[in-house]
Chains A and B, each alone.
Chain A
Amino acid sequence: MAWLGVLYIGSLLLLFATAFWHTDPFTSKVIPGFTLENFQELVVQEAYRNTAVRTIGIALAVTILCAALALPLGLFMAKVAGPKLRAILAIGITLPLWAGYLVKVFSWRITFSQGGPLDWVLAPLGVDGMGYGQPAVVVTLAYLWFPYMAVPVYTAFRQIPDNLFNASADLGAKSWGTIRTVALPLLKPALIAGSIFTFSLSLGDYIAAQFVGGKTQMIGTVIAQNINLNPPLAAAFGLVPILVVVAYLFLARKSGALDAL
């Protein structure tokens, strides 16, 4: 256990320390020392700021998309579907987890390609597929992380007793009112738990951006570009998602969603 701590915390501390070092511009060897150059670079250079904002935006969009899909699906599975259909849907949600990450990303790459399946499906409607770009990254990431949102939301729906819905109806609430005032507050912890996964996983991803992003640059892309040439800058930029996730966890804690943990 102690070793686990040393390895895990140790590597994070090393990352933090590296962010203050600099590299030899020619051989790109890392030279220990103390400089704030890397952080200054991140603040001054517009491209880094834009990339950070863009990445956070993509992660938020992925989280919202996942939640928007998980809510009706969870409600349907928990309260409407029969046991057989429920089992089939549960398998359907978790099955993609068994496939390789790259396989899934590449299949989305093919889906979004010119004249690919998406174009083909949309052609009768006279619409073109969106091609590669930020929307494609959001869809792909939402697909990849959807199970992490859907499973907790579904479990939370299952735990809401049916008679709460009946009571709500008896007291005169319409179906939307029931969802808003009864179901959603009970689902909040599950939604927040799920969003921690979808948000932080999206924040660190860069392979999806490489394959379906067209020219989209994310935090991970920049780190990958610099990891061999300028590790201190990569380390400094690597601290950005860590800070964002810590802030996110702090907000989640404050909202009381993590009390059950």
Chain B
Amino acid sequence: MKHTKRLSLAAAGASLALVLAGCGSSGGDAGAQSSGIEVPDFPVAESVGDSEGQVNIVAWAGFVEDGSTNPDADWVTDFEQQTKCQVNRKVGATSDEMVQLMRTGEYDVVSASGDASLRLIAGGDVQPLNTDLIPNFGNLVEGLKGQLYDNLNGKTYGVPIGRGANVLMYNTESVKQAPDSWADTWESDSPYKGKIMAYDSPIFIADAALYLMSTRPELGITNPYALDESQLAAAVELLKQQNEIAGEYWNDALKAVSSISTGTASLGTGWQVVVNLATADGGKVASVLPKEGATGWSDTWMISSKTKNQNCAYKWIDWASSAEVNAQIAQNFGMAPANKEACEGTKENEAHCETFHATDEEYYKQVWMWTTPVEQCIDGRTDVKCTNYQQWTKAWTEVKG
């Protein structure tokens, strides 16, 4: 009881601090080290003790598999036997749902994407981690070290699992010439009018911002997740223009597979795993990373600040970060693994990392990872207020009309 009281006090203090930070435009340096985002203070674990007997995990489908979905995908059974921690999995469908589930305090670990993690950190829902207690932490690929969405104010909150880009995918039967630009998905004179698919989430506004970065440099967008009001308005205008020529919005990978492989959609935003599933079923689908770059996502394991099973939570994260398990998760889900060594050892591992550009930092330099848009501009501007995710959600409703 005492414990919970202290937590709620901390949370209250945090929201106060947030309000204060929002009011005073404290001039200062922005960036990963001092972001201007106040975060509730939680103690860091000092050691990992005995198993509590269970660990409750909120994860994307395919991240925590015990063989019941697919007998070949099982990295939970061994963990349970070795650590005596029983794994209870809850599959989250969207980032927003995951945030909501973590707020209930009933879950110990979450696989958070970058658009959820900042909200979780600032909301006091997750605790800073002691990476010394995660021996498998050391072998991260270059690009995933110290990202803003899992490191804040010098503390580490998340252990990377993997990453992927939102590529431009196209049906090779209707799109003869491989595209090298997003232009055909945005411009009114697109030859594929009515057959364009777009991702159905407010975070897709960043894709519009990304396209504007190269087509309308006068807007001054330097980071698609840091948009002031006029920049957001320009992105919304572009999205409304796309709405005229779009055929469908998707938010479910299987829906995307059926649209792009039947040719109901000719081209649009997709994930590499969608392309792989479609081609595995005989669909004529290919993908490119266009010259403007792309948005993308990277997922991290985080531990709840209200966890009752901290030891098992640490044990799970360490287990899932080992080269072997990380490779299994990445291959099962269809993304680039975070652990360098998950790309080594077997032919299969090497081929997978090749397909997903796992260690190709040049590739991922063009990819802007999903980050929660917040009032403090994360591109370093301090003279304006940026638009937050709630404003993006409203704008998204407006776009769809």
Asked if B43 is an interface residue, CB under 8 A from chain A, the answer is: no
Q: A45, B398: Cβ atoms under 8 Å? A: yes
B376-401 interface code vs A (CB 8 A; 1 in, 0 out) = 00000000000011110110111011
Name A116's closest neighbour in chain B (CB-CB).
Answer: B262
Main SS class of interface, A: loop
Asked if B255 is an interface residue, CB under 8 A from chain A, the answer is: yes
- The answer for the CA separation of A25 and B99 in the assembled complex, in Å, is 14
Q: A228, B401: Cβ atoms under 8 Å? A: no
Asked if B264 is an interface residue, CB under 8 A from chain A, the answer is: yes
Q: How far is the CB of A197 from chain B (nearest CB, A)?
A: 28
Which residues of chain B in 172-220 are interfacial with respect to chain A, using CB atoms and an 8 Å cutoff? 200, 202
Q: A27, B123: Cβ atoms under 8 Å? A: yes
Asked if B13 is an interface residue, CB under 8 A from chain A, the answer is: no
Given contacts A110-B258, A113-B259, A113-B264, contact A25 B397 (CB under 8 A): no
Q: A214, B397: Cβ atoms under 8 Å? A: no
Q: A23, B263: Cβ atoms under 8 Å? A: no
Name B118's closest neighbour in chain A (CB-CB).
Answer: A26
Instruction: State the interface size on chain A (CB cutoff 8 A).
Output: 35
- The answer for the CA separation of A210 and B400 in the assembled complex, in Å, is 12
Q: When the two chains form the complex, which single residue of A27, A215, A225 contacts B393, counting CB atoms closer than 8 Å? A: A225
Asked if A35 is an interface residue, CB under 8 A from chain B, the answer is: no
Asked if B374 is an interface residue, CB under 8 A from chain A, the answer is: yes
Q: B99, A228: Cβ atoms under 8 Å? A: yes
On chain B, the residues within 8 Å of A116 by CB distance are: 262
Name B392's closest neighbour in chain A (CB-CB).
Answer: A229
On chain B, the residues within 8 Å of A115 by CB distance are: 262-263
Q: B397, A222: Cβ atoms under 8 Å? A: yes
- The answer for the CA separation of A215 and B204 in the assembled complex, in Å, is 14
Asked if A211 is an interface residue, CB under 8 A from chain B, the answer is: yes
Which residues of chain A in 76-119 are interfacial with respect to chain B, using CB atoms and an 8 Å cutoff? 109-110, 113-116
From B246-254, B291-299, B300-308, B338-346, the one touching the partner chain is: B246-254
- The answer for the CA separation of A48 and B375 in the assembled complex, in Å, is 25
Q: A29, B249: Cβ atoms under 8 Å? A: no
Q: When the two chains form the complex, which single residue of B264, B394, B398, B400 contacts A114, counting CB atoms closer than 8 Å? A: B264
Asked if B100 is an interface residue, CB under 8 A from chain A, the answer is: yes
Q: Is the interface on chain B under 10, 10 to 19, 20 to 34, or 35 or more residues?
A: 35 or more
Name A237's closest neighbour in chain B (CB-CB).
Answer: B397
- The answer for the CA separation of A110 and B264 in the assembled complex, in Å, is 10
Q: A24, B401: Cβ atoms under 8 Å? A: no
Name B262's closest neighbour in chain A (CB-CB).
Answer: A113
On chain A, the residues within 8 Å of B388 by CB distance are: 25-26
On chain B, the residues within 8 Å of A227 by CB distance are: 96
Q: How far is the CB of B191 from chain A (nearest CB, A)?
A: 16
Name B123's closest neighbour in chain A (CB-CB).
Answer: A27
On chain B, the residues within 8 Å of A45 by CB distance are: 394, 397-398
Asked if A255 is an interface residue, CB under 8 A from chain B, the answer is: no
On chain B, the residues within 8 Å of A228 by CB distance are: 94, 96-97, 99-100
Asked if A132 is an interface residue, CB under 8 A from chain B, the answer is: yes
Name A45's closest neighbour in chain B (CB-CB).
Answer: B398
Which residues of chain B in 224-263 are interfacial with respect to chain A, using CB atoms and an 8 Å cutoff? 243, 246-249, 251-252, 255, 258-259, 262-263
Q: B249, A28: Cβ atoms under 8 Å? A: no
- The answer for the CA separation of A112 and B361 in the assembled complex, in Å, is 41
Q: When the two chains form the complex, which single residue of A27, A41, A131 contacts B15, counting CB atoms closer than 8 Å? A: A27
Q: When the two chains form the complex, which single residue of B94, B96, B252, B397 contacts A217, counting CB atoms closer than 8 Å? A: B397
Asked if B103 is an interface residue, CB under 8 A from chain A, the answer is: yes
Q: How far is the CB of B340 from chain A (nearest CB, A)?
A: 34
Q: B393, A230: Cβ atoms under 8 Å? A: yes
Most buried by B among A215, A226, A230: A215
On chain B, the residues within 8 Å of A41 by CB distance are: 394
A–B pairs, 8, beta carbons within 8 Å: A25-B390, A109-B255, A114-B264, A132-B248, A132-B264, A214-B249, A215-B249, A225-B393
Apart from the given pairs A115-B262, A210-B252, A230-B393, 16 other A-B contacts in the complex at a CB distance below 8 Å: A26-B18, A26-B119, A26-B389, A27-B122, A28-B390, A47-B401, A51-B397, A114-B262, A114-B263, A115-B263, A131-B264, A210-B200, A210-B251, A211-B255, A215-B246, A229-B202
**A-binding residues in B (CB < 8 A):** 15, 18, 94, 96-97, 99-100, 103, 119, 122-123, 200, 202, 243, 246-249, 251-252, 255, 258-259, 262-264, 374-375, 388-391, 393-394, 396-398, 400-401
Q: Which 3 pairs, one residue from A and one from B, show the smallest C-beta to C-beta distance? A: A228-B96, A27-B123, A114-B264
